[in-house]
Structure formats: C-alpha cells, structure tokens
Amino acid sequence: MNVMPEAIEDVSQSGCHPLFLDVPSTVEFNKLRKRLLRNARQAIEDFAMARAGERWLVALSGGKDSYGLLAVLLDLKWRGLLPVDLLACNLDQGQPNFPKHVLPDFLNRNGIAHRIEYRDTYSVVTEKIPHSQTYCSLCSRLRRGHLYRVAREEGCSALVLGHHREDILETFFMNLFHGGRLAAMPAKLLNDEGDVMVLRPLSYCAEADLAKFADHMRFPIIPCDLCGSQEGLQRNAMKSMLEDIEQRMPGRKDTMIRAMTNVRPSHLLDRNLFDFAGLAFVQSS
C-alpha cells in the first residue's frame, strides 16, 4: 500500500459537510479522521474505483462500518476528492423490532440523499434456514440482489459496501481453512450480470479505527438481530485468531493485507496461474 502523493488537508479547516458540524476537535479524532480518509482514498486510487460523473449506491445497514463508509465518502466528496454522486440506501429486511425511524431521521437531519427500500427477506431466510444454522449466506444473497436492482433503478454504476481490512482477512482465512482455496473479498468486482460494479473503499481501513470513529461521531447504531445473535460462526473463530496474532505480533494485519497485493503465482501450486510444465533450462551458448 503506497502513500498518496497528495496529502489529505488538515481536517480542522473551517467548513465541512453537515455530518461533521459537531465532531470532536481533539488531535486524536483529527488523526483518526485523516487516517480513514487517506486509507479510503488510497484504495479508491489503487483499484481505479471512481470515474467522474458516475453515481454510487452506498449500502447503509445501520452498523458502524456502513456509517463510517458513508461519512468518509461524503467527506472526500466535500473536499473535491471524489467526483461522483452518492445515494445512501437502506434495505429494510423486515426484521422484528427494527427501528424504522432511525436511519431516515439520521439521513434527513444531515441532508443526505437516500432511499429506504422495504423487502421482507427476514421471513424468507427464517423459513428456509433452520434456527440452528447460520443465516448469513442466504440473507446476504437476497440483500445483494435487491441492492443491485435498486442500483439499476437509480442509475447507479456501483454498489458500495463497508467491508474493511478485517473482513477481507477473515474471509481469506475462512477460504483457506474451510474452502481449500486462496481467495478473499475483492476491493472491486463486476457483478454476474456485468452491469453493476461492487466497490469496497474501506479495504485498507482497520475495524478498530471504524469503531472509534463511530463512537466519536455518535452514530445511531442499529444491531443486527438476525445473524448477530447466533454464536459459533466460523468468522468469529477467524476474528479471534487474527486478534491473537495481532496482539502477539503487532502490525501483522497490515502485513497480511500487503501480501494480498504482492502475489507470486510461481511460488504457489496453481497450475492454472503458472505454466510449471513449460519451465525449461536456459540453453547455454
């Protein structure tokens, strides 16, 4: 991960997006905000995410990560560093006790363009998946399908998600340990239909930074009662393993993310990526 040639301007400057009107003025918060902006901008640059004049659909679940994503993108756009239009979208999936007023109130209060879409995927998931099993996979597929549809209806070229560094690393190790393949979450992906790009601008951002940011920003967090209440997920085991590694060897998470940008097919065992059969001695003269 390279440092951007143009530094993020001092966040203490006057004027800002309405979302940042009442944020802490501490050095700690300013450094945190600048770090998230720098990391997100680096990912947007590295993976050529932004094209001027496009419109992005920003998925907003009500969790810390999606709030952080929306705030960072709005901040970058206000600074003139993100030449796209943003539309926040919450998919109300019909979960019992979901506080329907929280997100519209937050978005209206801060003057953020948005769309609230109601689709009862909760009933579908709970009907098809036994309570003893995890809902995440089916829930995610149904949610993603509806978000693609909304993106098309709203003229958006990209669906933007709030997955961060830890999400990518956890997915990598889940695939390694349980799927028998080397794969993670890509920062940029074209959907199967070929008409909507999936973007993850927080790919370089640490989950701990997003959690601190959410606290400082006082986002009205909405917990996920569907999958968050289920224990024993494989992802939780990966999260615990990574936290243990990071505590014993600080900085390993950043090293692992850098490793994903520095792949050597000739030093792996995938014959589809490297022509091992074609290796030959160099003929001496």
Work out the average pLDDT over 129-143: 66
Supply the pLDDT for residue 118: 86
Closest CA to 91 of 67, 70, 120: 120
> Would you state the pLDDT for residue 2?
45
Distances (CA, A) of 172 to 184, 204, 273: 4, 15, 18
Q: For residue 229, is pLDDT > 80?
A: no
Q: What pLDDT shows up at residue 58?
A: 98
Summarised one tens digit per residue, pLDDT across range 7-24 is 555 544 447 889 999 999
Task: Quote the pLDDT of residue 133.
Answer: 59
Query: Poorest-confidence range of 62-66, 136-140, 225-229, 277-281?
Result: 225-229
Sheet holding 188-190, edge to edge: 114-118, 85-92, 55-59, 158-160, 197-199, 188-190
- Report DSSP letters for 150-206, one per residue: HHHHTT-SEEE----HHHHHHHHHHIIIIISS-----SEEE-TTSS-EEE-TTTTS-
Pick the residue with more confidence: 139 or 270?
270
Collect all residues with Cβ–Cβ distance below 8 Å to 187 and sequence separation of at least 6. 43, 46, 47, 49, 199, 200, 201, 203
Q: Check whether 68 has a pLDDT greater than 50.
A: yes
pLDDT for residue 117 is more than 70: yes
pLDDT, tens digit, 9 for 90 and up, residues 175-219: 999 999 999 999 999 999 999 999 999 999 999 999 999 999 999
Least confident of 23-27, 146-150, 211-215, 220-224: 220-224
Is residue 98 a contact partner of residue 222, using CB atoms and an 8 Å limit? yes
Reported pTM: 0.87
Percentage of residues of the chain with pLDDT beyond 90: 71
pLDDT at 128: 62
Q: CATH for 18-263, among 3.30.70.100, 1.10.10.10, 3.40.50.300, 3.40.50.620?
A: 3.40.50.620
